[in-house]
Chain A
Amino acid sequence: MNSRFKHTDPIVVSMGPHHPSMHGVLRLVVVPQGENVIDCKPILGYLHRGMEKIAENRTIVQYLPYVTRWDYLATMFTEAVTVNAPEKLANIQIPERASYIRIIMLELSRVASHLLWLGPFLADIGAQTPFFYIFREREMIYDLFEAATGMRMMHNYFRIGGVAADLPYGWVDKCLDFCQYCLPKIYEYERLITRNPIFLKRVKGVGFISRQEAINWGLSGPCLRASGVQWDLRKIDHYECYDKIDWQIKWQTEGDSLARYLVRIDEMKESINIIQQALKLLPGGPYENLEGRRIAQEKGRMNWNSFNYQFVGKKSSPTVKLPRQEHYVRVEAPKGELGVFLIGDDSVFPWRFKIRPPGFANLQILPQLLKGMKLADIMTILGSIDIIMGEVDR
């Protein structure tokens, strides 16, 4: 029986841009021999929309709606990095209330992203039910976002100098209620999934990345932390007010898909913890200070309470002129290190807006991980790396 299959030529299968798992438009050209995968080549570019070129013709405030379309599961992180880039370049400080609001929004977005990673990951393995469970929590997060920002997904919420609008009345209580509701649900996921023998058989030992390999390939995020490297940009860069909150980096040592799954589940619990602490520490004060500074500067010239402007309800955000410098800012997105390299040109448009997406760097390790695996492990490994094509292709 074995000798007949030894002489089969490997065939080339294109798992084309449209496939049933919800990982976006990624084309994998796989060379299987029987059930084993010999080689695999990912082909990208099916969603390349020219985001970096569009950025060269937009001011930062005009570009903010575009950035949420990079990583459309965790939209606050893309906005945070786009707004941090000019803030660090032009050295603009933000008020403390804005910093805490940003932390709350970022951690809610992290929970939302990990939830929507969990659903398709398990659906690819074969368990369709958690998909419905995660949408239950994710809809609650969407409701919170819609109350604060106006949109379920593509909130245009962050501004240079703070956030666009303050939290509505009662939002803090609703968010605390959500945290108290969500934490037992995460434990429920753990009870249902983590000790399930079928799940463990599919996921344990599959897609092993050693510690040295993870550093060499330039991975970041849960892929790196699951291989034993305690690298979390929130602790390293000390950005926003994360230092005032008591939280730990979650990491594992095994480096297989099960370790990446455990890291993300633990990160969800830790994010709920951070949100609860930040809500209790939320100070009063302004939520954005560029507008106030501009009004203070133009006190003599413009009369904002005169007949022409007294009914203007919508504040226009001031346009920031980017100095002729270059700078790289990064945030710890749920998928890894999301970075923006901004070269300013002493005008309102950036000269070069280079995006460093975490999915693009993390996807490079996929061919090496798949060599020698079975066909059924392709989706497990691809799901555990957690890519999203909007940011991989930009």
Chain B
Amino acid sequence: SSSFDVSNWSRLASLWPLLYGTSCCFIEFASLIGSRFDFDRYGLVPRSSPRQADLIVTAGTITMKMAPSLVRLYEQMPEPKYVIAMGACTITGGMFSTDSYSTVRGVDKLIPVDIHLPGCPPKPEAIIDAVTKLRKKIAQESFEERTFRPTRTKYPNLSSPHRFVSIVNTKKYKKKLETQ
């Protein structure tokens, strides 16, 4: 274990989300506060002011009118801060990605996102799963990265089951197949 395990643990065990929601995903987020899916057991206490929050779960469709407000809220949160893009509307625009003239197609056009959480709306168990994955991600943070966190970087899971396989196209096919 390293010296930043303690600091990582202290941050992941008490993520305080901003009580933010525009649309239907917020109702699923709010039912996490209820007693059936209790998110206080993960240390999440919802805060109304962005100055006191360190996690923003963008719950609900972001329209072009709401976008500056969201970016301002994100900028008002103090570092270190994390973002969970909740619901299909905030990942790619969701069901409004084809014909809507005012929806922002994905909140990662506005703010850097750590966890994308699919669903329309995602069940509260799925939101808890996203929080768990965010905790695991925070646990792997190191001090050197803290001063420089590039946006829109994908952090692959260290213990991924996929193996890297080289390109299979060897260009040595049988001549018969090529002429057919």
The answer to whether A20 touches B103, judged by C-beta atoms less than 8 angstroms apart, is no
Interface residues of A in 287-343 (CB under 8 A from B): none
Most B Cβ at <10 Å: residue of A45, A47, A66: A47
Cβ-neighbour of A22 out of B30, B34, B63, B121 (below 8 A): B30
B45 on the A face (CB < 8 A): no
B142 on the A face (CB < 8 A): no
Chain B: interface size category: 20 to 34
Query: Digit string of A109-137 for contact with B (CB within 8 Å is 1, else 0)?
Result: 00000001000000000000001100110
Interface residues of B in 9-28 (CB under 8 A from A): 19-24, 26-28
Interface residues of A in 1-48 (CB under 8 A from B): 16-20, 22, 24-25, 45-48
The answer to whether B96 touches A22, judged by C-beta atoms less than 8 angstroms apart, is no
Chain B residues with Cβ below 8 Å from A131 are 33-34
A54 on the B face (CB < 8 A): yes
Q: A18-B20, A132-B34 are in contact. Are A50 and B27 (CB under 8 A)?
A: no
The answer to whether B66 touches A47, judged by C-beta atoms less than 8 angstroms apart, is yes
A53 on the B face (CB < 8 A): yes
The answer to whether A46 touches B65, judged by C-beta atoms less than 8 angstroms apart, is yes
The answer to whether B24 touches A49, judged by C-beta atoms less than 8 angstroms apart, is no
A139 on the B face (CB < 8 A): yes
Chain B residues with Cβ below 8 Å from A20 are 19, 48
CB distance from B85 to the nearest CB of A (A): 17
Cβ-neighbour of B27 out of A48, A49, A73, A136 (below 8 A): A73
In the docked arrangement, what's the CA distance between A66 and B95, Å? 8
The answer to whether A53 touches B121, judged by C-beta atoms less than 8 angstroms apart, is no
CB distance from A138 to the nearest CB of B (A): 7
Provide the main secondary structure of the chain A interface. Answer: loop
Chain A residues with Cβ below 8 Å from B111 are none
The answer to whether B22 touches A24, judged by C-beta atoms less than 8 angstroms apart, is yes
In the docked arrangement, what's the CA distance between A153 and B35, Å? 18
The answer to whether B100 touches A390, judged by C-beta atoms less than 8 angstroms apart, is no
B110 on the A face (CB < 8 A): no
Chain B residues with Cβ below 8 Å from A116 are 27
Chain A residues with Cβ below 8 Å from B100 are 49-50, 53-54
The answer to whether B34 touches A136, judged by C-beta atoms less than 8 angstroms apart, is yes
The answer to whether B28 touches A153, judged by C-beta atoms less than 8 angstroms apart, is yes
In the docked arrangement, what's the CA distance between A135 and B103, Å? 30
A69 on the B face (CB < 8 A): yes
The answer to whether B48 touches A48, judged by C-beta atoms less than 8 angstroms apart, is no
Count, chain A residues at interface, CB 8 A: 35
The answer to whether B96 touches A49, judged by C-beta atoms less than 8 angstroms apart, is yes
Q: Which residue of A lies closest to B20 (CB)?
A: A18
Q: Which residue of B lies closest to A390 (CB)?
A: B23
The answer to whether B103 touches A22, judged by C-beta atoms less than 8 angstroms apart, is no
A57 on the B face (CB < 8 A): yes
A231 on the B face (CB < 8 A): no
In the docked arrangement, what's the CA distance between A57 and B69, Å? 30
Interface residues of B in 93-109 (CB under 8 A from A): 95-96, 98-103
The answer to whether A53 touches B63, judged by C-beta atoms less than 8 angstroms apart, is no
In the docked arrangement, what's the CA distance between A18 and B20, Å? 7
The answer to whether B36 touches A135, judged by C-beta atoms less than 8 angstroms apart, is yes
CB distance from A55 to the nearest CB of B (A): 9
Chain B residues with Cβ below 8 Å from A136 are 34-36
The answer to whether B36 touches A49, judged by C-beta atoms less than 8 angstroms apart, is no
In the docked arrangement, what's the CA distance between A303 and B73, Å? 59
The answer to whether B61 touches A49, judged by C-beta atoms less than 8 angstroms apart, is yes
A65 on the B face (CB < 8 A): yes
Which residues of B does A touch, CB under 8 Å? 19-24, 26-28, 30-31, 33-36, 48, 60-61, 63, 65-66, 69, 73, 95-96, 98-103, 120-121, 123
